[in-house]
A and B are shown apart, each in its own frame.
Chain A
Amino acid sequence: MDLTVAAPPNGTRKPPLREQSWARIRELFALAPDATHLNTGTVGAMPREVLDTADRVTREWTGGLLDVYPPTLYPEHRATIAKAYGIDQDELVISHNATEGMARVIHGLDLRAGDEVLTTSHECYSVLSNFNLLRNRHGVVIRTITPPTGFDVRAEEVVALFEQSITPRTKVLAFAGITLFTGMMLPIRALCELAHRHGLTTVIDGALLAGMLDCDFRATGADFISCSGSKFQCGPLGTGLLYVRNKVHPEHNPLPLPEFWPIISTWYPMQGAPPPRTTTSVESCNIGDYLQSAGSASIARGAALARACELWDEIGRDRIERRVFELAEHARGRLAERFGTAAMYSPGSDPGLRSPLIAFHPFTDPRDAWNVKKVAEFVARLESEHRIWTRWTEFDVPGSPHQHYAARICTHIFNDHTEIDRAVDVMGRLAAAMS
Chain B
Amino acid sequence: MTDPQPRAGGDLRLPGDPELPEPLATHGHPMTAVARLCGRQLFTYRGDATPGSWQAVAPVPDLASAIPSIYNAGLGARGTSYVIRLRPNVFWDTEPPRAVVAQDVIRGLKRLCTPFHTSTALPYLLSTIRGLAEYRDGHPESLRTPADLAEYAAAHEIAGVFALDDETLVVELSHPALDLVDILAMPCVSPAPVEYDAYLPDSPEVRRNLRSTGPYRPMPGPAGRLVLAHNPAWRAESEPVRGRHLDTITITRDATGTDRPPAFLGLDPYLALNTRGPGPLRSRELRRAVARAVARSGPSGTARPAHTIVPPGHDGHQESTVDRPVDFTDAGRADGVELTVAHPDTRRGGAAARQVALDLAKIGAKVHLRPLAQPAYAVLMTRREHAEAGEWDIAVGSWHADWLHANGRAFLLPLCHSGSVTNPGGNGDPRVDELIDEALAAQDDPTRSTAALREAERRALADAAIIPVLFRPPPVEVPRDPAVRGLTTLSALGGALDLAGVWLDLPDTSIGTTKPAAADPAELESTEARS
Question: For the complex, would chain B's binding face be called helix, strand, loop or mixed by DSSP majority?
Answer: mixed
Interface residue from B77, B159, B168, B172 paired with A373 (Cβ < 8 Å): B168
Contact between chains at B170 and A394 (CB < 8 Å) = no
B contact residues, range: 20 to 34
A382 and B145 CA atoms in complex are apart in Å by 50
Does B70 touch A at the CB level, under 8 Å? yes
B164-A396 in contact (CB<8A): no
- Given A394-B76, A396-B76, A125 contacting B70 (CB threshold 8 A): yes
Q: How many residues of A contact B (CB 8 A)?
A: 23
Tell me if B159 and A394 are in contact (CB < 8 A). no
Task: Give residues 118-150 of A contacting B (CB, 8 Å).
Answer: 121-123, 125, 128-129, 135-136, 139, 142, 146
B76 partner residues in chain A, CB cutoff 8 A: 394-396, 403
Task: Indicate with 1 or 0, residue by residue over B161-201, a CB within 8 angstroms of chain A CB atoms.
Answer: 00011001010100000000000000000000000000000
Q: Judging by beta carbons under 8 Å apart, are A135 and B445 in contact?
A: yes
Q: Contacting B71 at CB < 8 Å: which of A125, A135, A146?
A: A125
User: Which chain A residue has the least Cβ–Cβ distance from B445?
Assistant: A135
Q: Does A294 contact B (CB under 8 A)?
A: no
Question: Is there a chain A Cβ closer than 8 Å to B130's Cβ?
Answer: yes
B83 and A396 contacting across the interface, CB-CB below 8 Å: no
A371 contacts the other chain (CB 8 A): yes
Confirm or deny: A422 has a beta carbon within 8 angstroms of a beta carbon on chain B: no
B81 CB–A CB distance under 8 Å: yes
Asked whether A396 lies within 8 Å of B71 as measured between CB atoms, the reply is no
Contacts of A396 in B (CB 8 A): 76-78
- Chain B residues with Cβ under 8 A from A139's Cβ? 447
Residues from 98 to 129 in A contacting B, C-beta threshold 8 Å: 121-123, 125, 128-129
Residue B519 at the A interface, CB < 8 A? no
Query: Is A402 a contact of B164 with CB atoms below 8 Å?
Result: no
Is B160's beta carbon under 8 Å from chain A?
yes
For residue B81, which residues in chain A have a CB less than 8 angstroms away from its CB?
370, 402-403
Q: Which of B77, B80, B81, B165 lies at the interface centre, i.e. has the most chain A CB atoms within 10 A of its CB?
A: B77
Interface centre among B70, B80, B81 (most CB of A within 10 A): B81
- Is A372 part of the contact surface with B, judged by Cβ < 8 Å? yes
Residues in A whose Cβ lies below 8 Å from that of B70:
125, 129
Tell me if A272 counts as interface (CB < 8 A to partner B): no
A396 to B445, CA, bound (A): 19
Residues of the A chain whose Cβ atoms lie less than 8 Å from the Cβ of B522 = none
Q: A372-B164, A373-B165, A401-B159 are in contact. Are A121 and B77 (CB under 8 A)?
A: yes
CB pair A146 B78 closer than 8 Å:
yes
Q: Does A249 touch B at the CB level, under 8 Å? A: no
**Bound-state Cα–Cα, A372 to B76, Å:** 11
- Say whether B73 faces chain A, with CB atoms less than 8 Å apart: yes
Name B77's closest neighbour in chain A (CB-CB).
Answer: A121
Tell me whether A370 and B77 are in contact (CB under 8 A). Answer: no
Q: With A401-B159, A401-B172 in contact, do A372 and B73 touch (Cβ < 8 Å)?
A: yes
Residues of the A chain whose Cβ atoms lie less than 8 Å from the Cβ of B71: 125
B164 touching A374, Cβ below 8 Å? yes
For chain B, residues 119 to 173, give those with C-beta under 8 angstroms from any C-beta of chain A: 130, 159-160, 164-165, 168, 170, 172
Which B-chain residue is minimally distant from A139 (CB atoms)?
B447
B165 partner residues in chain A, CB cutoff 8 A? 373
A123 — nearest CB in chain B belongs to which residue?
A: B77
Q: How far is the CB of B207 from chain A (nearest CB, A)?
A: 36
4 shortest interchain CB distances as A-B pairs:
A403-B81, A403-B76, A396-B78, A373-B164
Spell out A's residues near B (CB within 8 Å). 121-123, 125, 128-129, 135-136, 139, 142, 146, 370-374, 376, 394-396, 401-403
* 14 A-B pairs in the complex with CB atoms less than 8 angstroms apart: A122-B77, A125-B71, A128-B77, A135-B445, A139-B447, A370-B81, A372-B168, A372-B170, A394-B73, A396-B76, A402-B172, A403-B80, A403-B81, A403-B172
